[in-house]
Amino acid sequence: MQTQAATRGPTHLVALYVATAGLQGNALGSDEEEITLLVYVLIDVQQNRVMGRQQYIVRPMVMDESCTPGTGSDNPAIAGSSGVISEVALAHAPALSERNLREHGIPLEQAIEKFEAWWSAMSCVTSGSAPRFVVDGQAPMRQCLHPEACNKDINLPEHYTLFHDLRKEFVACYSTHGELSTFGIQEMMEYFGLPLDTENEFYVHEIQDMICVIQRMIKDGHVFQNPETVNIVLEPGICSKDEEVDNGCVVRARGLPWQSSDQDIAKFFRGLNVAKGGVALCLSPMGRRNGEALVRFVNKEHRDMALKRHKHHMGGRYIEVYKASGEDFVGVAGGTSGEAHAFLSRGAQVIVRMRGLPYDCVAKQVLDFFLSGQKPCHVLDGEDGVLFVKKPDGRATGDAFVLFAKEEDAVKALSKHRDCIGSRYIELFRSTIAEVQQVLNRAIDPKQIVLPTPPIPQLPPILPQHIITSGTRKDCVRLRGLPYEALVEHILEFMGEHSKNIVYQGVHMVYNAQGQPSGEAFIQMDSESSAYACASQRHHRYMIYGKKQRYIEVFQCSGDDMNLVLTGAVTPASTKALLSPGTLTTQTPATLTHPPPPTPVRRRNPPSGTFTR
């Protein structure tokens, strides 16, 4: 029989059991309920005996005094938690009642710290060594512990990124043709002919059964030497148009906050291993982010776990997750430009997109822009780290991508958002490799704008996720009569001193049903008084655009008024009954068509500028 020493397996294993306030077993973590119990059992592999055990009742954050049970919260750590222990959880562990959790539970972070202190104090463990965890399946680590720790800003020790899946280890030890691949703890016990635990040493009997299975496998000579890994960092990667991507490894996430980065999306899927360069933010036909992303995982197993996060929360919003194809991913993330490939291969940690650049801007001006001010930062490789986006005829678009070497440079660079180059204010956004590819692909060949549409049913537009703002407060203004060629920067110039009172990402262009500019725009101001002052002082003033001179109508309006137009809810027949004079009229029933409206969903907080620059 092989020995652990001969094969260099771990000398100690820690059986880890995780329970939540919701579903258990294979569905663990799929309902986003918080962890209520952690059980650690230390096993000496060489002696094949239990050396110690620790149980921690964990109090869900939703039960804290600052939260009211049953009402939910906008706190990302507890959004989606019901505040009530489910009947399934109580049937599984009756002792873990709400009262018991409130009286005896400790925060998750404290439970993890207590185990670390206990482990370090164990005399039988080599000083400085790390525990090697064994769990029942993938869910305890990937669907519970890592996502919840990420949401609560808990930095798990590095050894939590390695673990053994007992089910896979069992198959490796006893199955030759995969016939035991679906076995859970109970089936494993029956396979060995061992009696199920009936004692009450633990809050749940599964942990004792886990120990019996592990010790039996050690006795039979099994070596726990090929751990699963959890990737914490999203690694960059470049996808080409010719690359073949497995259809079983891709999902489409919908309803994302407009400002989400690839890192934010990777955090949403924390615990699951995203492939290198595996997050592709989707752009609308107008080049704006449309609240969707395609995510590529390392294998089908991780993709299937990602699908179980359907309607999990990112902040106060829930995200829809659907199957997608490899072709969808390549269509968004794949690139053909040699210039883009050379640019993206420079090893940058951060990509920043610039918008609103003067058309005659050169790379040196960009370098000087980021070196100026109180937080100067250096562009990677100087002028070679700046890539201007141009139209097929070579004309500038006013956009550029800039590379930075370190993650710390991102904060410094983005702090210059809305600083000026010459008389033009510049917008800055965190970007991604896939976004660079998409923008350059479209600049080279505008026909590539059309993207495959996933077969997801569209529901009636009751409360769409993409609503910009709402309410009866008249803190918005509506502009009418704009030149069709007008861009956001032209609107800001027209607004003059009032532009400083526009909220972040608060300018929304309106497009008609054919995707063409309607000559209208909505602007969110920081207060009703700011909106009133703007409407009073800029109404019927002229906008100069090239040789054109257009007088612009400016009306004060509310978020509700704005949404009636942006969601296409205004019809000529119903306008008079719905709207007050001086806001919306029947003349231009507009529809925002940056993309077609996503599947309507309920959400708590409106995003800031879903379809804006």
CATH number at 511 reads: 3.30.70.330
The model's pTM is 0.69
Among 141, 111, 117, 90, CA closest to 38: 111
One-letter amino acid of 340: A
Q: How far is CA 150 from CA 16, 78, 112, 411, 413, in A?
A: 19, 12, 14, 20, 25
185: CATH:
3.30.420.10
Asked if 322 and 413 sit in the same domain, the reply is: no
Would you say residue 490 lies in a domain?
Answer: yes
Asked if 202 and 101 sit in the same domain, the reply is: yes
Are 330 and 250 in contact by the 8 Å Cβ rule? The answer is no
Asked if 116 and 190 sit in the same domain, the reply is: yes
Would you say residue 263 lies in a domain?
Answer: yes
Q: Is the pLDDT of residue 598 over 60?
A: no
Asked if 255 and 220 sit in the same domain, the reply is: no
- In the listed set 200, 229, 258, which residue is the last one of a domain according to the structure? 229
Would you say residue 598 lies in a domain?
Answer: no
pLDDT score recorded for residue 601? 36
Which residues, including other chains, have CB under 8 Å from residue 236's CB and lie 6 or more apart?
276, 277, 344, 348, 349, 433
Are 192 and 213 in contact by the 8 Å Cβ rule? The answer is yes
Asked if 348 and 363 sit in the same domain, the reply is: yes
pLDDT score recorded for residue 611? 38
What is the C-alpha to C-alpha distance for residues 524 and 199, in angstroms, rounded to an integer? 63
One-letter amino acid of 175: S
Beta bridge partners of 386: 402
Residue 597 backbone phi and psi in degrees, to 5: -55, 135
- In the listed set 311, 333, 355, which residue is the last one of a domain according to the structure? 333
β-pair type (133-135, 12-20): parallel
pLDDT-wise least confident of 344-358, 383-397, 438-452: 438-452
Q: Find tokens 């005659």 and name the residue.
A: 360
Would you say residue 112 lies in a domain?
Answer: yes
What does the DSSP assignment read for 493-533?
HHHGGGGGGEEEEEEEEEE-TTS-EEEEEEEEESSHHHHHH
Q: Is the pLDDT of residue 450 over 60?
A: no
Structure tokens belonging to residue 198: 């009936």
What is the C-alpha to C-alpha distance for residues 276 and 235, in angstroms, rounded to an integer? 5
pLDDT score recorded for residue 178? 67
Q: How far is CA 255 from CA 48, 320, 321, in A?
A: 50, 6, 9
The Cβ-side half-sphere exposure at 492, using a 13 Å CA radius, reads 22
In terms of average pLDDT, the best of 239-243, 305-309, 427-431 is: 305-309
pLDDT score recorded for residue 599? 37
pLDDT score recorded for residue 65? 56
- Cα-based angle 67, 73, 75 (whole degrees, multiple of 5): 100
Provide, rounded to the nearest whole percent, the portion of the chain with pLDDT above 70: 81
Q: Is the pLDDT of residue 306 over 60?
A: yes
Q: Is the pLDDT of residue 110 over 90?
A: yes
What is the C-alpha to C-alpha distance for residues 60 and 206, in angstroms, rounded to an integer? 22
pLDDT score recorded for residue 286? 74
Structure tokens belonging to residue 222: 């099994």
pLDDT band at 513 (very low <50, low <70, confident <90, very high): low
What does the DSSP assignment read for 199-227?
--SSSSTHHHHHHHHHHHHHHTT------
Higher-confidence position of 451 and 390: 390
pLDDT score recorded for residue 523? 92
Supply the mean pLDDT for the chain.
82
What is the C-alpha to C-alpha distance for residues 379 and 404, in angstroms, rounded to an integer? 5
Would you say residue 234 lies in a domain?
Answer: no
String of b and e for 413-435 (b: at least 16 CB within 10 Å)? Answer: beebeeeebeeebbbbbbbbbbb
Asked if 291 and 380 sit in the same domain, the reply is: no
What is the C-alpha to C-alpha distance for residues 140 and 142, in angstroms, rounded to an integer? 6
Asked if 390 and 361 sit in the same domain, the reply is: yes
What does the DSSP assignment read for 6-59?
HHT--SEEEEEEEEESS--GGGTTTT-PPEEEEEEEEEETTTTEEEEEEEEEB-
Would you say residue 485 lies in a domain?
Answer: yes
Higher-confidence position of 112 and 78: 112
- Arithmetic mean of pLDDT, 440-468: 50
Neighbours of 221 (CB within 10 A): 12
Asked if 312 and 355 sit in the same domain, the reply is: no
Q: Is the pLDDT of residue 573 over 70?
A: no
Asked if 181 and 119 sit in the same domain, the reply is: yes
What is the C-alpha to C-alpha distance for residues 77 and 55, in angstroms, rounded to an integer? 23
pLDDT band at 453 (very low <50, low <70, confident <90, very high): very low
What is the C-alpha to C-alpha distance for residues 218 and 224, in angstroms, rounded to an integer? 9
Would you say residue 159 lies in a domain?
Answer: yes
What is the C-alpha to C-alpha distance for residues 345 and 437, in angstroms, rounded to an integer? 12
Sign of CA dihedral 266, 269, 273, 278: negative
Kindly report, residue by residue over 242-277, the tens digit of the pLDDT: 899 999 999 999 999 877 889 999 999 999 999 999
Higher-confidence position of 540 and 578: 540
Among 15, 58, 25, 17, CA closest to 204: 17
Q: Find tokens 């409206």 and name the residue.
A: 597
Asked if 379 and 287 sit in the same domain, the reply is: no
**Strand ranges for 58-141 from DSSP E:** 133-135
Name the domain count of the chain: 4
- Arithmetic mean of pLDDT, 229-250: 93
pLDDT band at 514 (very low <50, low <70, confident <90, very high): low
- Arithmetic mean of pLDDT, 105-128: 92
Are 330 and 433 in contact by the 8 Å Cβ rule? The answer is no
The Cβ-side half-sphere exposure at 576, using a 13 Å CA radius, reads 1
pLDDT score recorded for residue 83? 56
Would you say residue 238 lies in a domain?
Answer: no
Provide, rounded to the nearest whole percent, the portion of the chain with pLDDT above 90: 53
Kindly report, residue by residue over 125-140, the tens digit of the pLDDT: 877 789 999 999 999 9
Asked if 171 and 39 sit in the same domain, the reply is: yes
Asked if 52 and 201 sit in the same domain, the reply is: yes
- Residue 110 lies in domain: 12-64+77-229
